[in-house]
Structure 1
C-alpha cells in the first residue's frame, strides 16, 4: 500500500555555456562541473576566485523516469533543494521553493503518466534572489558584506573567515516518488521524559489522508505497546517503561538506546506506513539559578567539554556517514563530550544525530542565523517558521540533542557592532529569537531547553556578552589581546573561543603549489580568510616564542602557539568549576584546506591543537594556575578548597579537576627545578577530589617562588599525569641546544620513535606527515627533563626513513630555533 521510487539517476545539468552535463543527485553544480572537468578544484591554490559566476548563474537539472501509477496518491518528495527553485513535471509547474533548510512534497498523481516522464528543476541564481530581496526590504548589516541574510541558505556558502565563497545550487538531498493510499504518517513526534524511575513516551502523530476510513496506529518500545484507532488526522499514544536503562553522555555512563516502532494500518490489518527511530530515556535542563549556566543531564551537572562544529565540507554531498563517524571519533578521542552545531551552517543530518546518539555526544543545535541582521518580513517569516517546525520535529527524538539556540552572535551584533544606526528601525531578527523560535520549541519540543542566542546573558536588559551571566564568546583574545588574557575572565559558560594556526604540512602541500611556501606566498595568503590573520599570528608568536627563521619554523611555532593558547584557556575555565561550567572551543573541523582555528584540518588531519585539547579535556586534569587571596564565592559557597582566586601576580597553585564518575585521590609530587633538571624545592600533596569537583591546593612558597624566573619551572606529577609551568615565556628562556638520543623500531604499520633527553627538550613534536601524508603520531608537544624519555607511536601506510624521522623538520622542539 506504500512505495518509494528514488529519482537519483539520469540527471543532467545545464546553465550558462554548460549544456547537459551528467549530474549527480544528491549533489550540487560545483561537484558536477568538477567531475566533468569544466572547472578546476576550488580547494586548490586560488581557483576559488575563478568560480563566482556559478552562484550568479541559473541552472536547470533534468531527467526522465518511468512510473506506473498505482496508488491514489503519488507525491514528489524533495528532501532538500538548494535553494530558489521551480519544479516542472511533464511541462507543468508543480511547485516553487526558496529554502534550503526544509523539505517539500507535491501531489503529482494527476501529472504522472505511464511510460516516460520529464522532470526539470530550475534553480534561480542565489545572488539574484538575495540581492532582489535586499533591494525590496532594505539593506541589513552583516559581518561579510555578502547577502546571505536575504536567502534561507547555508550562510557560510557566501564565505566566512575560515571558508571559501562557493555559492552552490542543486538537489542536495534525496528526491523521489512516494506512492500511498488511505493515510500516511505525516509527522511523528515522540516526547520522552523520565521521572521517579519511570520512562514515559508520548507519541504524537499527525496523518495526511487520501480516504476517510478509520486506521489503527500501533507503537512499541522496550517491550511496551500502545494502540489507537483514529478517524481524524491526530493521535496520541502513551507508553510507560518502568526503570528504563538511561541514556548518558560519554564519560558518565552508557548511551542506552531503545527502538521505538510505529505501524499505521487499515482496520483489516493492512500496513499503510511505518516509522522507526532509536530513542533514549534521559532528562535535560539548563540551571540558571544564581546567574549560573549549567547543563543538567539526568539530574547530574555536566561540565561541557565542547567543540564548535561547522559543515565538514562546502559540498554537502561529500559528507558521508563514514566521514562524520571519523570526525566524531576524533572528537571522542580528544575527550570531547559536546558538539555545538554553529548557526552559519545548517540543521545537521540524521546520520549526524544518530551517530551522536550512539557515541553519547551531547549536541546543541543553533537555528541557522549567524553574524547578521535578518529581515522579519515575508516571505522570510513564514519560511522560517516552516523550517523551524520541520526541523524541531525531525530532531526532537534524538537524546543527544540537549539545547536549541536561537542564533549565533546576532543579539551581540545588534548591541555592539554598530547595527542600530544602520538599521534605522528596520527589523533585524529579534522576533525570531525572542518570540517565534521559543514558541515553536515550547509547542513541539517542550522537554528540551531553548536559549535565545550565543552569546546571551539571560535577559534583554543585560549586555548579551557579559561573561558573568549565561553564555559568552571570548574574541578579544586572538583579535587584539594575548591568550594569557583568558585567565582574567571568570565566565559562567564559554561558547566560543579559539586561536589560529595553519593546517598540517601535507595538507598545505596538497592544496597549495607555492614554491617556495612562505607565510605570505600567494596560495598561503589566499587560504588565510581572517582579516589581519597573519599579523595576529605573528603578534601571538612575538609574545611567547623565538622568532622563526624560515617557513618550517613558522609552521611549527604557529601550530605550537595555537595548541598552547587553547589549552591555556580550557585549563583555566575548567579550574573555575563550578563557577564556570562549559568550554566550547572554536572549532573542531574545517570545510576545506585553510589556516584556521580548527583542531582537525580540512583533509581530516590532526593539528598539534588536537593533542593539547585531548589532554586539557581529559576526565582528570592536573593544572598549575595562579591563585591568591580569599575564596572565590560567586553567588554561593566557595567552589575551591582551600579557596583562592586568580590575580595577575598570583603564585602558582595546583588545581585538580575530576570530571569522571569515580572519586580521585590525588597524590602529587610538585617540584621546582632549573633547566638542567636539578631539584630546587619539592612538596608532596594529597587531596581527595570528588566526581564533578575542582580542588585547589596552594604550593609552599619555596616551590612556587623562583630564584631565577628565566631559568626555572614547576613540575607536578600525580599517578601518570604531569603538568609543567614555566615562570617566563619561551622567548626569554636561555634554552640549551637540544641534545638527545633516539631509536626507531618499525613493526608493520607502526613505528615507535623513542627520544631520550640529554638536555631539557621543550614541546617536542613529531611531524611524520612530512614523510607520508597518511602518517599520524599519538602525541605532540611533550616537554622532557634531562634523562627522561618519550615514545611516539607513528602509524603509517609505508616504511619511514629513520634518519628523517629524527631530523628537522620532522622532529622539532623549541630548543632548535
Structure 2
C-alpha cells in the first residue's frame, strides 16, 4: 500500500451560527486545530481567561451557541484509489462538509471518524467546514425525547457522549466546549490498509511472554494478501484470503522480559512490527499477566498481588487540546515521586491521549480505566447505545498494547447512585445504564481484550446481590468523612479496597494569587467562586475539629491550617488501611490533579504546584511505613526484601527529655505487615498533653502524639535558621532549621516569594536540638532570608503555643 497523510491543521477560522455577545470579525477569528472555541476566543482577546476570578460565569453562552470551523487546503490528484478525511476527535456534535457537500456527522467526543471523500475532492483549493451544534441544544433535545434522568448535577451530560465534567463538577468549572479537539488529516491510499491493530500482551501458563495480534484490514477482495508480525526475535507470516478482513495470530516471545509496576520491578518495552501487503505499522508493548481476585478485589501482576498505592486522575485541563506530552509526563512524575503505583482515570472525564498511556508504560504506573460514565443515570436508547458500543470497541482496541492498563471499569458511582440516591423512584421503568455496565461493556471487553479484567463499576461489591458499598467485598468509596465525620472515622472500618476517599485543601498561595485579583481572605467572594463543593469552605473549617485551631479571619492561618489538615486526614486514612494489608489491598486517593485553580481534594494544584498533601502522600506511600494504632506499631513492608532490625520506641517529653525507651528485634517479610504491641512504658504517658512517642526502625521514623494538637502544651516555636546558596548550575538555596523547642509539622512555602520556587520536603517534626535542611529550587530570590520568616516558614506551634 502507498499512503499520503496530509495534516489539516492550518488556516482555520471560527464563526458563530447566531449573534453572540462579543464582536466576531467578518470572516471569523483565527482558530487553532486541535483546539476549541474557548481557547480560540481567548487567543483573539474576545473573552477573559475563564480560570481567573469569576469570568467563568460570563461564558455560559459559548456552550449554547452553534459554531463553524472552516479551512481551505490545496489538493492535487495523486493516483490513489481512496481518500478519507480522518478526525481523531470531534467535540462533539458536528456535521462535516467538503466543498459544501455533507460527508458525515459526529455525536461523540470519545471516538474518531473516517469519512470517504474521493468523489468530492477538487484539484486546487478545497473548503472544509465543521459545523458544531451547541452541546446544550443536542443534549437537552435528547433529554426531552427520552425523558429526564437523575444525576448529581442539574446538567444534561448523561445525554451526550462528551466529557461529563465540562458541565461543571464539585471541583471544576462549567465550560462547555466545542471544537476539533484532536488532529485531523486527509489520507489518500491504494492497496490493502491496516484499519486497526489489537495487541494483547500476556503470559502463558508457564509464565512465558506471548502476544496475540488481531488485525482488521481494508482491501478490495481481489487477491490474497500476505503479511507478517515480528517482535523481539519472534515472528510469524500469514496469508489472508480474498474474503478475509480479520486476521488473528498468537506468538510466543520467550526472549522478552516481563513488565512490572515500578513498585515491583522493571519496565521493558518492545517494538512490534505489523505488515499487510505494503502497509507497515510500528507499535510498542510490554508483557505481563493481570488477574483480579474479585471478592477481595486483589489485583495481581505476573502472579504477584500488588497493594495499590493509587490516585484518581481527572482531566488535566478543561480544554484537553492544551495538554502536552510534557505536562502529562510532569504530572505522572509527581505521582511516581509520591510512591504512587496506580492511576485511576475517572469516569467523568476521557479516554486519555496515547501520550498518557505510553508514559505510564515507561514509568511503571498501573492504569485503571473507567469507561466515561459518572454520577448519573444514563439512558440506553438510541442513538446512545450504538455510540457507546462504537467508542468502547475503538478505545479498547486503541489501548490494548499498553501493559500499564490493567483494569476496565464500567462507571463511577452509578451503581451506588441507583441503590442509594433515590433514583429508582424517580426513574420508574426508564433505563439508567445497567445494560451498559452488565451487558454491553463486559461483552466488548471479553471479545476485544480478554487479557484484562472488567469490573462493572466503583463502588461495587462484585455481585448485584450485595450492596455496592459493602466494605467486605469489592471496592468502596468513603465520602462520609469529608462530608460529615471527623477524619478519625477512617479507622472505623476495614475495607477490602478503597477506590475513592479524600479531604479538601486550598491550592498553593501562588496559584490562588494568580487566579484571584481581589483581596485574599477566607470569606472573599472570588475565593468562594474557586470552591465548587457544596458548603465546601464550611466543611474545611469543620474538618479542623479538635485537631487544629480555628484560623479566624487571618488568611495566612486559614491557608496553612486547612492545607495541613488535608494532608493529615488523608495520611491518617492511608496509614490505617495499609496497616490492614493483605485484607485491604488498595487505596486510591481522590485526587492527584486539578484542571484549574481551585480549592479541592487534589495533591497537585491546577498550576502544577505540590500541596502539603503531596508530601504527606510521599511519606505514607513509601515502601516501608510505621503506623501506630490501637496500642501497637504496625510495620508495613511493601518492598521486595524483608525488613529487619531493632525497633526503638522512645517516649519523650515535649522538651525532648527521654522518659522511657524500649527496643524490640523485628522482622517483617517482603510485602508483609508485622504488629508489635506497645510496651506499657511507652504506651501509657504520665501526661498526654506533654509527651510524644518516637518509633524508629532503620531510616524510617514515626512521631506520634498522645493528644490532639489543640490539647498539647506546645511551646512557642524557637529555632535557628541559616540560609545559604546551594551552589551548582541551577539557582537554589539551602535552608537549615535547628530546633530549640519542639517544632510540630515544620513547612516552608517559597512560592510566596516567587511563584517558581519549590521546596523538597515538608511537614517535618523536630525535637529540640534536631536539625533539618530544606532545599529550595526554581527561582532566584530578592530576599533569601525571608525563607526563614513568617508566613513562608510555618509550624503548628504558631497557632497553639501556650
Equivalent residue, structure 2, for 1:45: 53
SS in 2 for 1:524: helix
1:416-454 CA distances to partner (integer Å, 9 max, x unpaired)?
A: 111111111210000000010000000000010000001
- Identify the residue that residue 135 of structure 1 maps to in structure 2: 144
* SS of residue in 2 equivalent to 1:94: strand
Residue 211 of structure 1: how far off its partner (Å): 5.2
Deviation by residue 1:12-66 (Cα, 9 ceiling, x = unmatched): 0001343410000000000000000000000000000000000000000000011
Aligned to 2:105: 96
Q: How does 1:236-255 map to 2 (within 5 A)?
A: 236-242=248-254, 244-255=256-267
Match for residue 184 of structure 1? 193
Match of 1:263 in 2: 275
SS in 2 for 1:10: coil
Tell whether 2:541 aligns with 1:544.
Answer: no
Structure 2 partner of 1:385: 389
Counterpart pick for 1:113 among 122, 126, 130: 122
Question: Which of the numbers 49, 65, 72 marks the counterpart of 1:64?
Answer: 72
In the alignment, is the contact (CA less than 8 A) between 2:541 and 2:550 conserved in 1? no
Task: Point out where structure 2 has 5 or more consecutive residues left out of the alignment.
Answer: none
1:796 Cα deviation after fit: 2.6
After TM superposition, the score normalised by the length of structure 1 is 0.95
Deviates more, 1:96-105 or 1:227-236: 227-236
Unaligned runs of 5+ in 1: 266-270, 627-650
How big is each residue's C-alpha offset from its partner over 1:700-734, in whole Å with a ceiling of 9 and x where there is no partner?
01111122112211111121211111111111112
Select which of 337, 340, 345 maps to 2:344. Answer: 340
Give the aligned partner of residue 606 of structure 2: 602
Q: Deviations over 1:643-689 (max 9, x none)?
A: xxxxxxxx2x1111111112111422111112111111111122111
* CA distance in 1: counterparts of 2:333 and 2:692, whole angstroms: 35
Give me the whole-angstrom Cα distance separating, in 1, the residues matched to 2:262 and 2:129.
46
Provide the residue aligned with 1:75 in structure 2. 84
Q: Say whether 1:707 aligns with 2:686.
A: yes
State the secondary structure of the residue aligned to 1:415.
helix
- State the alpha-carbon separation in 1 of the partners of residues 326 and 764 from structure 2: 32
How far off is 1:157 after superposition?
0.1
Q: Supply the distance in 2 between the matched residues of 1:82 and 1:774 (Cα, whole angstroms).
A: 34
Q: Note the 1:275-294 alignment, pairs <5 A.
A: 275-288=281-294, 291-294=295-298
Structure 2 residue aligned with 1:144: 153
- Among 732, 740, 743, the alignment partner of 2:711 is 732
Does the CA contact (< 8 Å) of 1:73 and 1:210 recur in 2?
A: no
Structure 1 ranges of 4+ moved more than 6 A: none
Q: Is the 8 A contact 2:209 2:257 kept in 1?
A: no
Residue in structure 2 matched with residue 25 of structure 1 by the alignment: 33
Q: Which residue of 2 aligns with 1:624?
A: 628
Q: What does 1:479-558 align with in structure 2 at a 5 Å threshold?
A: 479-515=483-519, 517-549=520-552, 550-558=554-562
Q: When the two structures are aligned, how many residues end up with a matched partner?
A: 783
Structure 2 match to 1:171: 180
SS in 1 for 2:646: strand
The alignment status of 1:654 with 2:658, answered yes or no, reads no
8 Å Cα contact 1:608/1:781 also seen in 2: yes
Shift in alpha-carbon separation, 1:382–1:801, aligned structure 2, 3 A: same
Equivalent residues in 2 for 1:575-586, closer than 5 Å: 575-586=579-590
Alpha-carbon offset, residue 243 of structure 1: 5.1
Q: Distance in 2 between matches of 1:548 and 1:761?
A: 19
**8 A Cα contact 2:232 2:255, kept in partner:** no
Deviation at 1:210, TM superposition (A): 3.8
The superposition leaves residues 200-228 of structure 1 with CA deviations (integer Å, 9 ceiling, x where unpaired) of 21211111124522222111001112111
| Cα root mean square deviation, aligned | 1.0
Instruction: Name the CA distance, whole Å, in 2 between partners of 1:243 and 1:118.
Output: 51
Match of 2:461 in 1: 457
Query: In the TM superposition, what is the alpha-carbon distance from 1:543 to its structure 2 partner?
Result: 2.7
In the other structure, the counterpart of 1:225 is 235
Matched, 1:692 2:671: yes
User: Partner of 1:97: helix, strand, or coil?
Assistant: strand
Please say if residues 197 and 242 of structure 1, whose CA atoms lie closer than 8 Å, have aligned partners that are also in contact: no
Match 2:753 to one of 766, 771, 784: 771
With the length of structure 2 as denominator, give the TM-score of the two structures: 0.97
- Give 1:377 shift: 0.4
The answer on whether the counterparts of 1:624 and 1:724 sit within 8 Å (CA) in structure 2 is no
